[in-house]
A and B are shown apart, each in its own frame.
Chain A
Amino acid sequence: MKHTILHLCTAAAIGLAATTAHAATTLDTVRERGKLICGVSTSTPGIAYPDDKGRMHGFDVDICRAVAAAVFGDAEKVDFVVTNINTRFQAVQSGEIDILSRQSTQTFSRETSLGIDFGPTVLYDGQGLMVPKTLGVTSAKDLTDAAICTLPGTTTAQNLTDFFRTIGGKFEMVVFESPDENRAAFFSGRCEALSSDRSDLAAIRAVANNPDDYVILPETISKEPLAPAVRQNDSNWRDIVAWSSWMLMAAEEKGITQANVDEMLKSEDPEIQRMLGVNEDLGKMLNLDTKWGYNIIKSVGNYGEVFDRSLTGIGLTRGPNTLWNAGGLLYAPPFR
């Protein structure tokens, strides 16, 4: 019943909280509060997880820190709220959180009917399948008639169904609400395969007793563009989140790192000068400080640094998440 109660509370909160949330812009609210409130996922290594001192780490966490650095000049002014997978979008709508940075896939119906806007894609992910090596399976197409463990909802269940409908096979889907039960069922052999976003599978594999016993199959059965989400109709706030994310990518493109950002202030490159607020104030146009870009890079580094810190460690490769000029999909619009 725990979950049901949680849903009810969130549903009720939409009615009550939404009235106050629209009195001011999100930026004003955040400034007045002195803190950014950021919705993240439950403890997932590499994405969002607390260390033994309770400090949050991970890719999604760093996106929030970047925005906090842009707004306050201080990446630590963030409160992280763990969101429920079923009510995460309601938490954004209701103003309970300012940003949802929770491995959420941007889809048409979410953007159009949920009262939210997505920022740019920060991680190009896709749904994959993981199997024990001993199964001898090398392709997802060989998994016809297998049992597949997965978490409820999101786009996962539908993608799996679509995939097996396309190849004309059947499968048994076993769905768990709790990630722990899901993993336990897979590791004990209740299911032949585990399906989730590849980044998530890598995280699960990383915590297995013997990671080498498991293999993530080559097929990516769906596109999962993961993007931060904000409330609809607050253009300025969406711009702040979007351009903070792009700042990370542009910084990698320009070779600006956490370590060399101070030297880069002296760079002759006019775009770097604009990004770091040296001679032109782009910050003012976002209602932010002149140094917003400098602050982001100084506190969290560039995209590559953020990725390496969190995702390389759990065995994820850059794949499509490399810069456009290196054959990848990351493409920040010009800072001018």
Chain B
Amino acid sequence: MSFFYDTRIRALFYQSVAIVAVLLIASIMFSTASDNLAKQGIATGFDFLWRQAGFVISETSIAYGPTDTVGRAIFVGIINTVKVSLLAAIFGTIVGLLVGIGRLSHNPVLSRLMLTYVELLRNVPLLLYLFLWYALIISVFPPVKQAIQFFPGFFLSNSGLAMPSVAFESGFEPLAVASVTSIVAAIATRIFLLRRHRETGQERPILLLSLVAFALPLIAVALVSNITIVWDIPMVGKFRLAGGYQIRPEFVALLFGLTLSVSAAVAETVRAGIQAVGKGQWEAATALGLPRSRTMRLIILPQALRLIIPPLTNTYLTVFKNSSLAIAVGYPDLVMVSNTVMNQTGQAIETIAIFMGVYLSLSILIALLMNWYNARVALKER
């Protein structure tokens, strides 16, 4: 009888019941849906992924053409989603960190300004901002025919920014190898010199030596191998600018909107994190004669980071999911491509299942990465 009163056993029992109930309901729903679909003669399954897509996507990071498969089109959408969310997360974090620190400034003008920035961005739905940024871009900048050439080869219009791009006619591989070698060499030099400094106390110009280590492999390759660079400069075509590298306004509007929304969230998180670090830390640093900026960088921020990481995870998850608003401003993300596919094949359930699956697994991946990082920076109690 005591077996039954054991809280752990009871908890286990209730949890098992809950899991069984959920699975049961899910399986009933699934079998009813598939029965009904079969009865109505509606095609099911994922065969449509191997059909020819037959539509163009204006922004692609991998090779894609209308003769490729539906599956590849969806993959292009996934890459676009990841690209814009990743960039927004990076830029948003940098801006947010600065704004968050600015919020705590003793300068009342600066701190009020930052407060206004944060409140404006946090209290208006992102979708409205996206519409606003997009409308501004396409109405403020001139049509592509009257594109502004603000620097030779750089064109700005409501069709985006076109700029020269480089292509290697030869010598790309050795250069790539050299670049990697440079980075590794620079980091290794820095680590080595820092350790020497800690062990022996020798003062060496660490930054300068690291730069030298970085430059050497590049110079060597430049001297030895034959590198030919071809410039691809945008040209005024019949309607559009042809060639070069083009950044489209749909992408800019989305990236800008997402970045600002991330930055506001990060700013608040950073402010809270900094304020949570004990006042005594500031006082101790001041007593040691450290200036404010170094105190912030070396003492306060590292401690605040422990408090910042968990809410930051949430922010990153949100930006990733919010990127699906892309469809409002015409950026071909996963949802937009899926919608087109859904429309053409009529396989709504399968397509929704795919993009739910993608969002779920990528979200879990982000959470896992952030948790791993959190565990690394967390206070280690020994």
Contact = CB atoms under 8 A, between A and B. Distances in A.
Interface of A: 1, 3-4, 7-8, 10-12, 14-16, 18-19, 22, 85-87, 89-90, 93, 109-110, 113-115, 143-147, 152-155, 157-158, 160-162, 165, 171-178, 181, 184-185, 188-190, 192, 231-233
A153 B339 contact: yes
Contact of B240 (A115, A145, A153): A145
25 contacts: A3-B335, A7-B348, A8-B352, A11-B348, A19-B32, A22-B39, A85-B343, A86-B343, A109-B346, A113-B346, A114-B43, A145-B240, A147-B144, A152-B340, A153-B343, A172-B58, A174-B58, A175-B340, A176-B329, A176-B330, A177-B336, A181-B330, A188-B143, A192-B239, A232-B40
A44 to B, nearest CB: 17
A93 B327 contact: no
A177 B42 contact: no
A190 B185 CA distance: 47
Interface stretch (B132-140, B169-177, B194-202): B132-140
Contacts of A162: 54
B330 A232 contact: no
A152 B343 contact: yes
Given A110-B346, A152-B336, A231-B40, 13 more contacts: A18-B33, A18-B40, A87-B348, A115-B40, A144-B238, A147-B239, A153-B339, A153-B341, A153-B342, A158-B344, A173-B58, A175-B330, A175-B332
Contacts of B355: 4
Contacts of A86: 339, 342-343, 348
Nearest to B237: A145
A142 to B, nearest CB: 8
A181 B329 contact: yes
Given A15-B32, A115-B37, A158-B54, A178 B328 contact: yes
Contacts of A15: 29, 32-33, 36
Contacts of B55: 157-158, 161, 173
A154 B341 CA distance: 9
A10 to B, nearest CB: 7
B190 interface: no
A147 B159 contact: yes
Contact of A177 (B249, B339, B345, B346): B339
A158 B163 CA distance: 30
A16 B36 CA distance: 9
B325 interface: yes
B324 A4 contact: yes
Contacts of A90: 348
A175 B142 CA distance: 20
Nearest to A93: B40
Interface of B: 29, 32-33, 36-37, 39-43, 54-58, 66, 131, 134-135, 138-139, 142-144, 158-159, 237-240, 242, 249-250, 321-322, 324-325, 327-330, 332, 335-336, 339-346, 348-349, 352, 355
Contacts of A145: 237-240, 242
Contacts of B349: 11, 14
A176 to B, nearest CB: 5
A143 B239 CA distance: 8
A15 B353 CA distance: 14
Contacts of A1: 321-322, 324-325
Residue in B250, B343, B352 with the greatest tally of chain A CB atoms within 10 Å: B343
B339 A184 contact: no
Nearest to B145: A189
B66 A161 contact: yes
A16 B32 CA distance: 8
A8 B237 CA distance: 44
Nearest to A114: B346
Contact of A184 (B138, B336, B345): B138
A190 B159 contact: yes
A140 to B, nearest CB: 13
7 nearest A-B residue pairs (beta carbon): A153-B343, A189-B143, A15-B33, A115-B40, A113-B43, A18-B36, A115-B42
Contact of B66 (A87, A165, A175): A165
Contacts of B346: 89, 109-110, 113-114
Given A89-B346, A144-B238, A184-B135, A14 B36 contact: yes
A145 B56 CA distance: 13
A86 B57 CA distance: 18
Nearest to A8: B352
A157 B339 contact: no
A1 B359 CA distance: 12
A118 B242 CA distance: 44
Given A115-B37, A147-B239, A109 B32 contact: no
B326 to A, nearest CB: 9
Contacts of A233: 40-41
A232 B41 contact: yes
Contacts of B239: 143, 145-147, 192
Contacts of A175: 58, 330, 332, 336, 340
Contacts of B138: 184-185, 188-190
Contacts of A154: 343-344
Contacts of B33: 14-15, 18
A181 B128 CA distance: 12
A11 B348 CA distance: 7
Nearest to B349: A11
A115 B139 contact: no
A181 B324 contact: no
Contacts of A87: 342, 348
A13 to B, nearest CB: 10
A152 B328 contact: no
A53 to B, nearest CB: 29
